[in-house]
Structure 1
Amino acid sequence: MNAELINCLRQELRSRKQDITQDYLSHRHPSRFFEAYGAELDRCLGRLWQEFFINMPICLIATGGYGRQEMYPHSDVDLAIVSTHILSEAEEQQVARFVQTLWDVGLAPAAKIGSIRQLLLSAQEDLTSDTAFLEARFVCGNHKVADDFLAKLNLQRDIATFIDGKLLEKSQRHNKSRGATSQLEPNIKTCPGGLRDLHTMLWLAKAQGLRPHFLTLVHEGILTRPEAGLLMHSHKQLARMRIELHLLAGREEDRLIFDLQSQVAERLGFKDNDSSMKSEQLMKQLYRAIKTVKQLNGILLPMLKGRVFSSLPRIVHDIDEHYYQVGTAIAVRNIKLFQQQPREIFNILRVIQNHPDLDLIAPRTLRAWWLAAQKIDDSFYADVENRLMFISIFRHGTGVTHILRFLNLYGILGRYLKPWGKIVGLLQHDLFHIYPVDDHILMVVRNMRRLALTAHSHELPFASGLMESFPYKTVLYLAALFHDIAKGRGGDHAQLGVDDARTFAKDHFLTNYETDLLCWLVEDHLIMSTTSQKEDISDPEVVNRFCQHVKTRDRLVALYLLTVVDIRGTNPKIWNDWKAGLLENLFQAALKTLSGLGSNQRITISRRQQAAITILDQQGHSEKNQRALWHILGPSYWVRHEKQDIQWHVSQLISRENEPQASIKIDVALKALKVMVFMPNAPKLFAQLCAIFNQQNLDILTARAYVTNHQFILDTFYLLIPDGFDEDEYPDIAAMLQATLGHFILGKYINIPAPRPASRRIRHTQIAPRIQLYEEDSGKQAHVYVLNIITANRRGLLANIAKVLSDFEISLIHAHIMTLDARVEDTFLIKSASLEDTKTQLALKQTLLEVLTT
């Protein structure tokens, strides 16, 4: 084919595609775009076909998205070139030239090529191929060959196996969509409730010989007309978003990535307002669309599957006068029961809880239940029996997560609990939550319930042991449900949530003790994570203050369990063994204090010194050398360091008090390195150490800085080893760091890195940095201040902050580094007489702000 004709076709196709796109931008009706673009592709392919194949037993078939006439601007053109026979070498070359020409004119063909027999075998062995061929339609060539191939294809397809395969494929696809990226930058095509789920419904229909259109399913009695309308509306919204993504990206982009969210929102008419950003409004629209698809999945897919398997014997058991069991589904005898007796809307859930072999509601029963539940109102809530049944879901415990998710999916939880309706789909732009508020809360409930199940006790053995013996499990499930229910209202959500919890407790007949415990947990659900991650829990005074707030063992156990499941339900990236250890250490220390076994600071110091003496005596060090080391360390050392660190330090430092050294211990359980650096004090040492760790790709979990009486720094760090390394590689990582630190303590300092650019998520989901500086009120030392910094995370951030402190000649005593995915909440205990001056404080804050916003 000559180059002039190819160039002409390429220009013609480009021009027509531009016209079709401009027409779409004037009305934004996806179906009109699909129809016009598909017709243009048919015309172009038909024109090219005539240049290559005339009067041959071969045809061109559209498959996949092209076959169902749903072509997006930059999607591949799915094709099959089918012949009656195995192609000869000359014919293969002719087909290869045709496919290459498609590339030359600007298409992106994804072609399957072969004889009828070869392609039938491909479809038989591969579900993806069979699905693509399910949507096949003739484009050009020998029509008889196409008809013969498609007829044989439909005859060979095992419908039951196909349906089972597509349902399993859907389940696997949903399981892969649980990570942070999938939640924050959802794939419009493959996310749960996305376009692929809509396609799956229609594939199951077409495999049974039904026309793949939702209105056809209405005529067949499978869908109601309102349900079909909801699905078509959701498809229109999702398709529009996907088209916009392709046009903006200039390529096949199906993820609603941060870089494009605001642009897509603007093109679809959303605007920033006082209550939400345009990107947030877009994500809410997406959330509603995919939720509708997921809701109707529960009705349509079982009904379509039931059409195929209905001829098989059904195992049916009577449950009671209203319900019977079909397989693992519960069905209602009288389809109008829920309308006639609204109490059955909750009672069916109670029945499911009492029958462990039931795991779903039969589709027609589900439709009737959903229709009746839309009428839940204040009178329904006022019915005492309904409230008793609702609280029984929590008291029973079995399946509580499944039931709450089910009620939320179908919008019933928000109808029954008015505060819940305000958080459905509410996004949290804080750089560490990855779920909308309602999904986060249900994840926390799920985590709490798993602690009560023996099958999951291996995940968190210590917490599971506490849960097993805790007598108020109902309160824990409710605390998980209410702890964030007041998000998005303005003000302190913990304080506001107490009113909701107290009202619920009164209306649902909780005892006074249960009510008090629930309200306290909702109000103070953040105190344990804050104390463990922002304060020095090795200090007995910190533990004592915490215990004065907690007061009882029940509160301590309940708060510990709620804190663990809350952190784990926020974002998989922010839970690690280090945080688990901090929480457990605080729990154990508080438990001793509440049990009367705690000690004051003087006794604690004595015990730490005695532990150090014991280990040095065992090593044969003289009392004289020990006293010399004690003098160098000074009295405040014993307050600021835990027993394990003290034993390690003194073993390394005894008789070497004037020798610079760096020591590293590997903590396999925590996947961390414990580092001690001992060397003469000098400006910017802490900042340079942070820079070294940054260069080695080691995140700082916590840092404790100390200066001895003879002006040596004694800095201790916990460093998190990056994911992807096996345990047998840890010694190599430690050795590389040891070599670098060895050079450093000999005076070979490094340059502190300039601030690095923020990640895509941070650039498009910004948070305003917060800096808080106040004087510590313990009265133990003068000129000691607490510096709290909340900001977006990036590489080298801690080194840059430490450099600012050094520039202001501020000494660092202790640092708690809390990394929450793309957000950090760091707390520094610092010392400087100059901070008494208000101007100095303002200058420090301004300089820090410049670093944080760079």
Structure 2
Amino acid sequence: MANAAPGEQANGGAPDDAAWAADARAALAEHDAELARRFDEGEEIDRLLAERVNAVDGWVRQTWARCIPADAPLALFAVGGYGRGELFPHSDIDVLALAEEGSQERYADALARLFALLWDAGLPVGHAVRSAAECTRAAAADLTVQTSLQEARPLLANLAEVRTLNDAISIERSWPPDRYFAAKRQEQRDRHARYGDTADNLEPNLKDGPGGLRDVHTLRWMARRVLDAYGLEQLITLGLLGVDEYATLERERRTLSRLRFGLHLVAGKAEERLRFDHQKALAARLAHADEADNAMVERMMQEFYRSASVVLRINDRLLQRFEEQIEGEGELVPLDTDFATRRGYLVARDEVWPGGDIGRVFDLFAMWAERPEIRGLHSQTARALAESLHALPSWRDAGAKLRTQFIALLRGPTPVRTLERMSRMGVLGVWIPEFAQVSGRMQFDLFHVFTVDQHTLAVLRNIASFSMEAPDERFSTAHEVWPQLRKPELLLLAGLFHDIAKGRGGDHSELGAVDAREFCDGHGLGEADSALVEWLVRKHLLMSTTAQKLDISDPGVIHRFATEVADRERLDYLYLLTCADIAGTSPKLWNAWKDRLLTDLRTATRLAMRRGLENPVAAVERIAETRDRARGLLSAYGVGDDEADALFARMPEPLFLRGRADQIAWQALGLRGTAPGDSVVRVRRLAAGAQALEVFVHARDRDGLFTAIAITLDRSGLAIQQARAIDGPGGTVFDVFQVLPTDPRHVPDLPAIERKLLTVLAGSLDVRPARRAQPRHLRHFRVVPQIAFSDSADGRHTVFSLVCTDRPGLLADVAHVMRLQGLRVHDARVATYGERVEDVFRLAAGNHALDASRQDSLRDALLATIDGDAPR
């Protein structure tokens, strides 16, 4: 039975409750402020957590004494995290009042007063009032309730009441060990899946994300249910957890706890997700600085990612050991003299394996790759591997035989999966120390959504997808290029090293190329192979930059790119590396438009190489070839040569120089049956099922035409990726836009888009941009605006480049400013890199380039617009 503290009396309904609660709230706030001060001074995190629990315990007991009679047959338990003795600054205070049904009814008012007073005192209490039988039923029906009650810690309860609660949730009454383990493991898998099965997110959840504190808690809960162990430390005496493993897990738990404690402080609430809003403030607090720079944030995040990675490794091993306790150890099934399987897991037969011999480690990964039926690495061998990492040499200190073994892994079955396993186990970082340096390294921006090591592995997985029998739908031609590679392992090496020098300062492409060359030479690759890998790493950004920032319909651009690439083998390797790199940077970054750009660039470059780089294509020849191919495509629609030539006569000649034959045929079909000057709008998908769209607009030229189209597309939920405006015969324009839905869940209605544009073309063109709020994540990244002007090659246009922070509707606002300035847009290329946009426009004032005065006026108006003062 619960008892009041000495000298305390229950005085149900006392009129001074409000004043008492205010005093309690003030005292708790003062105590929390003191804990925050000590946190900032670097005090040990477990002491801070324990002192907060002790302080809350004291006030909970005082509140109980005010509300509950001393002889009441009630007991009070802390449950959940509070029961575990782990209270962060804004954690909930979960309690259970244990009482039989009659007592519940009799003391209902007193309990209601208790919980209300706790809230008034500033304690966010979550409560339940249950009998022992109700605890059994609730626990049996809900895994979360069972788990919470397992953490129960008596606050005001005698030994008999503690035994009653323990009996109510015993394995005989609810959740026997095998069911509990299976359910908790599935719960963990589902939770990890919600976060993309990786801790390496830009805004990770410190509590529930993979490798977060919840994974440590889960191991504790399983140990309690499966082995009746009240803490993970008890597993050491049971032989299921090494002293080193326990110490490591505790170290990472403290690291994660410190981050979570600090996050609660800077957020001022129970925030578990380390959002951009709080990263700089938390990094500054941890570094004892007034303000954090990006480097501080990146160091803090790297510490988190590395801790989460270690937690996941130990989590995998312990789950397997719990499984063995339930299912039995299983028979040893020999595979060869060195390895066997036990319950489907790969195990080294030598008790002292690997004995510091990395050759034996490589043998392990080779066996694993050859046996796809293997479930994973046995926990005993995984632990032996982890304990030996410090004794394994890097490739520079290893002999030729070991280096040959590593290259053999790249040439063996499932090499990318092998590299992923080596990375997860920490072996890859030992063999290539530079890889260890970028493990867990993030970049504080919105473009790179993964840490460098996880991005690298994503690139390698994309490369692996090129070789699959079923082509990856994201890449239209990659699976056709893959079989042409002379040595696929060279592409894997280029992918492995392409970003390995990030964070060192200087050009990471140049520094990485030096690392790659040294590695290739050291592993006995021939001169041609080493040179190819070195060149790919040095030039891994060349193709994406050319495709996204330059006009690849310009024969001069193609000729310069082809000259730099120089041969078709390099082109194929670079094409595949570029596809894999862009798609591995962010799930949202790769789309059908980028796929088309790179495919078109590769095709045009191959044609240039076939023709001979000493013989650049002449404009007349290019126009004739495009006309012929377009004419052939139109014949399939019943368009004869004479009709085709009549339609071509209504189209501007630059289209045939810079456009694709299929694009010209599609536009010509849109003109068919119309009179010169009639407005024509056509919308199509760039590929079957693709989100990327191509919009063709033909109309009589008027001031504000481009702006009206851009704003209408923006209002239709479409983001312009590329735009081209070409003057046609008789005062007409041929505008082509490549667009993507701003919301990937939105399925565009193509006929509706055509109708909206035709309606706008029939009106005054006085369309105003829509106002939109800036997304939360963009507010924390500001790119200083950069505006530059230069003359086009022919001197008729001004090339205007804009670099600034992205925001919804930015292009529509920029186009509106250009209209107000009386300027015409002849070409636009829009590139977005996370929070950063890099747009290039070809402009004219009438038929002339902009003079200095017009440039200054445009610059001033655009800066005002970018800062949010767009004219209306």
Length-normalised TM-score, structure 2: 0.87
1:711 aligns with 2:731: yes
1:683 aligns with 2:698: no
Q: Is the 8 A contact 2:306 2:439 kept in 1?
A: no
In the aligned structure 2, how far is the partner of 1:358 from the partner of 1:2? 66
Give, as a single letter, the amino acid of the residue that structure 1 aligns with 2:504: R
Give, as a single letter, the amino acid of the residue that structure 2 aligns with 1:749: D
Q: 1:72 aligns with which of 76, 88, 92?
A: 88
* Equivalent residue number for residue 798 of structure 1: 811
In the aligned structure 1, how far is the partner of 2:163 from the partner of 2:500? 59
Q: Which moved more, 1:473-482 or 1:557-566?
A: 557-566
Q: Is the 8 A contact 1:345 1:373 kept in 2?
A: no
* Equivalent residue number for residue 698 of structure 1: 718
* Equivalent residue number for residue 31 of structure 2: 20
Where does 1:117-132 land on structure 2 (aligned, <5 Å)? 117-132=133-148
1:199–1:582 distance in 2 versus 1, CA, 3 Å: same
Q: Is the 8 A contact 2:652 2:728 kept in 1?
A: yes
| Cα deviation 1:108-146 (Å, max 9, x = unaligned) | 332334332232122223222221111112222565344
Report how far residue 362 of structure 1 moved. 2.4
Q: Is the 8 A contact 1:702 1:817 kept in 2?
A: yes
* Equivalent residue number for residue 5 of structure 2: none
Give, as a single letter, the amino acid of the residue that structure 2 aligns with 1:153: I
SS of equivalent residue, structure 2 residue 499 = coil
Q: Is the 8 A contact 1:82 1:116 kept in 2?
A: yes
* Equivalent residue number for residue 3 of structure 2: none
* Equivalent residue number for residue 572 of structure 2: 557
Report how far residue 92 of structure 1 moved. 5.8
1:613–1:207 distance in 2 versus 1, CA, 3 Å: closer
* Equivalent residue number for residue 7 of structure 2: none
Report how far residue 402 of structure 1 moved. 3.7
SS of equivalent residue, structure 1 residue 484 = coil
Report how far residue 275 of structure 1 moved. 8.8
Report how far residue 527 of structure 1 moved. 2.5
* Equivalent residue number for residue 370 of structure 1: 386
In the aligned structure 2, how far is the partner of 1:179 from the partner of 1:793? 29
1:738 aligns with 2:755: yes
Q: Which moved more, 1:477-486 or 1:682-691?
A: 682-691
Give, as a single letter, the amino acid of the residue that structure 2 aligns with 1:38: V
1:484 aligns with 2:495: no
In the aligned structure 2, how far is the partner of 1:640 from the partner of 1:831? 20
Report how far residue 200 of structure 1 moved. 1.6
Where does 1:715-794 land on structure 2 (aligned, <5 Å)? 715-723=735-743, 730-731=748-749, 734-735=751-752, 738-739=755-756, 741-752=758-769, 758-771=774-787, 773-776=789-792, 781-784=794-797, 786-794=799-807
In the aligned structure 1, how far is the partner of 2:742 from the partner of 2:500? 35
* Equivalent residue number for residue 595 of structure 2: 580
Q: CA RMSD in A?
A: 3.6
Report how far residue 749 of structure 1 moved. 0.6
SS of equivalent residue, structure 2 residue 689 = coil
Q: Is the 8 A contact 2:679 2:700 kept in 1?
A: no
Q: Is the 8 A contact 1:20 1:36 kept in 2?
A: no
| Cα deviation 1:56-89 (Å, max 9, x = unaligned) | 5443222110110111222222222333448776
Report how far residue 574 of structure 1 moved. 0.9
SS of equivalent residue, structure 2 residue 695 = strand
Report how far residue 570 of structure 1 moved. 0.4
In the aligned structure 2, how far is the partner of 1:38 from the partner of 1:24? 12
1:553–1:630 distance in 2 versus 1, CA, 3 Å: closer
In the aligned structure 1, how far is the partner of 2:713 from the partner of 2:37? 54
1:510–1:624 distance in 2 versus 1, CA, 3 Å: closer
| Cα deviation 1:14-53 (Å, max 9, x = unaligned) | 1232232122123223323322322333333334434246
Give, as a single letter, the amino acid of the residue that structure 1 aligns with 2:382: L
1:81–1:691 distance in 2 versus 1, CA, 3 Å: same
Q: Which moved more, 1:685-694 or 1:498-507?
A: 685-694
Where does 1:426-825 land on structure 2 (aligned, <5 Å)? 426-454=441-469, 457=472, 460=475, 462-468=477-483, 470-595=485-610, 601-610=619-628, 633-653=651-671, 656=674, 659=677, 661-667=679-685, 669-723=689-743, 730-731=748-749, 734-735=751-752, 738-739=755-756, 741-752=758-769, 758-771=774-787, 773-776=789-792, 781-784=794-797, 786-806=799-819, 810-825=823-838
SS of equivalent residue, structure 2 residue 201 = helix
Report how far residue 531 of structure 1 moved. 2.8
1:271–1:394 distance in 2 versus 1, CA, 3 Å: farther
Gaps of 5+ in 2: 1-11
* Equivalent residue number for residue 8 of structure 1: 19
Where does 1:197-216 land on structure 2 (aligned, <5 Å)? 197-209=215-227, 211-216=229-234
Q: Is the 8 A contact 2:787 2:801 kept in 1?
A: yes
Give, as a single letter, the amino acid of the residue that structure 2 aligns with 1:24: L
In the comparison of the two structures, how many residue pairs are matched?
844
SS of equivalent residue, structure 2 residue 94 = strand
SS of equivalent residue, structure 1 residue 32 = helix
1:102–1:454 distance in 2 versus 1, CA, 3 Å: farther
Q: Is the 8 A contact 1:83 1:145 kept in 2?
A: no
SS of equivalent residue, structure 2 residue 442 = coil
| Cα deviation 1:224-273 (Å, max 9, x = unaligned) | 44433332232222222222222232221111111111111222225499
SS of equivalent residue, structure 2 residue 438 = coil
In the aligned structure 1, how far is the partner of 2:200 from the partner of 2:13? 46
Q: Is the 8 A contact 1:86 1:114 kept in 2?
A: no
Report how far residue 447 of structure 1 moved. 1.8
1:830–1:375 distance in 2 versus 1, CA, 3 Å: farther
Give, as a single letter, the amino acid of the residue that structure 1 aligns with 2:34: D
Q: Which moved more, 1:590-599 or 1:154-163?
A: 590-599
SS of equivalent residue, structure 1 residue 562 = helix
Report how far residue 101 of structure 1 moved. 4.4
1:3–1:841 distance in 2 versus 1, CA, 3 Å: farther
Report how far residue 432 of structure 1 moved. 0.8
Q: Which moved more, 1:407-416 or 1:269-278?
A: 269-278
Where does 1:316-355 land on structure 2 (aligned, <5 Å)? 316-339=332-355, 341-355=357-371
Report how far residue 834 of structure 1 moved. 6.5
1:421 aligns with 2:436: yes
* Equivalent residue number for residue 164 of structure 2: 148
In the aligned structure 1, how far is the partner of 2:357 from the partner of 2:760? 79
Give, as a single letter, the amino acid of the residue that structure 1 aligns with 2:439: V
In the aligned structure 1, how far is the partner of 2:586 from the partner of 2:123? 41
1:401 aligns with 2:421: no
Length-normalised TM-score, structure 1: 0.89
Q: Is the 8 A contact 1:270 1:278 kept in 2?
A: no
Q: 1:189 aligns with which of 196, 204, 207?
A: 207
Report how far residue 742 of structure 1 moved. 0.9
SS of equivalent residue, structure 2 residue 126 = strand
SS of equivalent residue, structure 1 residue 230 = helix
SS of equivalent residue, structure 1 residue 75 = coil
Report how far residue 94 of structure 1 moved. 6.1
* Equivalent residue number for residue 301 of structure 1: 319
Q: Is the 8 A contact 1:380 1:386 kept in 2?
A: no
* Equivalent residue number for residue 172 of structure 1: 190
1:619–1:510 distance in 2 versus 1, CA, 3 Å: closer
Report how far residue 580 of structure 1 moved. 1.9
In the aligned structure 2, how far is the partner of 1:142 from the partner of 1:513? 79
In the aligned structure 1, how far is the partner of 2:400 from the partner of 2:636? 70
1:60 aligns with 2:76: yes
Where does 1:217-296 land on structure 2 (aligned, <5 Å)? 217-271=235-289, 277-296=295-314
1:448–1:386 distance in 2 versus 1, CA, 3 Å: same
1:45 aligns with 2:60: yes
Give, as a single letter, the amino acid of the residue that structure 2 aligns with 1:255: R
Report how far residue 734 of structure 1 moved. 4.2
In the aligned structure 2, how far is the partner of 1:618 from the partner of 1:291? 58
SS of equivalent residue, structure 1 residue 192 = coil
Report how far residue 659 of structure 1 moved. 4.0
Report how far residue 474 of structure 1 moved. 0.8
In the aligned structure 2, how far is the partner of 1:637 from the partner of 1:340? 66
